Amino acid sequence: MARGRLNTKRSISIVPCFVFVEMVIMAGTVVLAYHFEYMDTFPTHIQGFFCYDSTYAKPYPGPEDTSRAPPVLVYSLVAAIPTVVILTGELTFFLWQSNWREEKTIVSGDCCYFNPLLRRIIRFLGVYSFGLFTTTIFANAGQVVTGSQTPHFLSVCRPNYTALGCQSPQQYVAEKQACTAGNPALVSAARKAFPSKDTALSAYAAVYTVMYITLVFKVKGSRLAKPSVCLLLLCPAFLVGVVRVAEFRNHWSDVLAGFLTGGAIATFLVVCILKNFHSHWALSGPLAPMGQLVSVPVVALPCIQSPLEKLSVVQNHRAAFADVT
């Protein structure tokens, strides 16, 4: 009897532990992203340049807000589109799956009632936002470590070629204080180009949403409906990259690296962490024993005589808890 009670208690106490660990990881990710974004905690690597290098001497296109793909627009779309798509998708499924009506709640622990719909939404959007911060960190880390310059770098740096002794275009300037006439804020922004952050975030959002639509929706009757929606979602992400190259804000290699970073993080999260969005839609499957188990008072547990059966119930219980978090 004591052992039965112990088993259940231990499994129940695991839930807040998992939730706590995940909160800590999430908070750490957000704090790190914040430091990269708004603080100068990590100094940017200072790269030199060749005199009169035409690759970096494109005209300055103005502040980011005047871009045809301004950050405000990009970030709102990155936040809004996947949220709307996932909410719509989950609600649609919830309304369509009639067998759900009977088992709307899963009991997890002795305190928390989880609606499976809510659980799926929280998990998919939680992993999505985690990936969003991870992508920001990756992009910022790449920018700070490489110190790669934008195509308009020399236009904002405005080096004094006479003072630097530039005679031929082959001459390399390694001096750290070369940008004497330039606005320091613009110069430091122009040293952060590889990979392009806006492109990485757009690619991440697009790939995540496209994988959600491809893997979760089962459209019968139309072969082209799903690919059209997916390509429609990938198109804005592609355009963000193109606009950044066209406005001399990034080289095409920065944009390509951004696409790869965002796409890889989205693919990894969806395939390895969310297991292609398959999270026990059919509750009559492996999760069913858990509902029974927990709703029964703890005292009733020792009634299960066979140790094998007991073991399997406890394992199911644990697996289910691992799923919840």
Q: Does the footprint of ligand NAG cover residue 162 (CB under 6 A)?
A: yes
CA 20 – CA 53 distance, rounded (Å): 52
Residue closer to ligand NAG by CB (options 176, 223) is: 176
Least Å distance between CB 57 and ligand NAG?
Answer: 17
Q: Does the footprint of ligand NAG cover residue 167 (CB under 6 A)?
A: no
- Interaction residues for ligand NAG, span 285-304 (CB under 6 A): none
**Where on the phi/psi map is residue 82: left (φ > 0), alpha (ψ -120 to 50), or beta?**
alpha
CB 78 within 8 A of CB 139: no
CA 22 – CA 310 distance, rounded (Å): 29
Identify the DSSP state of 148: P
Which string of b and e fits 125-150 if b means at least 16 CB within 10 Å?
eeebebbbbbbbbbbbebbbebbbbb
Selection from 255, 280, 240 nearest residue 123 by Cα:
280
Residue closer to ligand NAG by CB (options 99, 160) is: 160
Build a one-symbol-per-residue string for 236-265: x at contacts with ligand NAG by CB under 6 A, - elsewhere.
Answer: ------------------------------
Q: Does the footprint of ligand NAG cover residue 165 (CB under 6 A)?
A: no
For 97, phi then psi, to 5°, come to -80, 100
The stretch near ligand NAG (CB under 6 A) out of 113-121, 158-166, 198-206, 292-300 is: 158-166
Residue closer to ligand NAG by CB (options 163, 231) is: 163
CA 122 – CA 112 distance, rounded (Å): 14
Distances (CA, A) of 307 to 1, 304, 313, 320: 13, 8, 10, 20
The stretch near ligand NAG (CB under 6 A) out of 49-57, 156-164, 191-199, 261-269 is: 156-164
Token code pair at residue 144: 């700070």
The stretch near ligand NAG (CB under 6 A) out of 63-71, 148-156, 160-168, 228-236 is: 160-168
The stretch near ligand NAG (CB under 6 A) out of 67-75, 122-130, 159-167, 194-202 is: 159-167
Strand 172-173 versus strand 49-50 pairing type = antiparallel
Q: What is the largest CA-CA distance in the chain?
A: 91
Q: Does the footprint of ligand NAG cover residue 228 (CB under 6 A)?
A: no
Binder of ligand NAG out of 76, 160, 170, 279 (CB under 6 A): 160
Least Å distance between CB 159 and ligand NAG?
Answer: 9
Size of the site for ligand NAG (CB under 6 A): 3
- Write the DSSP string, 48-69: -EETT-GGG-PPP---GGGSSS
Least Å distance between CB 180 and ligand NAG?
Answer: 7
Residue closer to ligand NAG by CB (options 160, 276) is: 160
Q: Does the footprint of ligand NAG cover residue 163 (CB under 6 A)?
A: yes
Least Å distance between CB 40 and ligand NAG?
Answer: 27
Residue closer to ligand NAG by CB (options 182, 258) is: 182
- Sign of the CA dihedral with 147 first, then 148, 154, and 159 last: positive
Residue closer to ligand NAG by CB (options 179, 314) is: 179
Residue closer to ligand NAG by CB (options 163, 225) is: 163
Selection from 178, 161, 160, 177 nearest residue 169 by Cα:
161
Contacts with ligand NAG, residue ranges (CB under 6 A): 160, 162-163
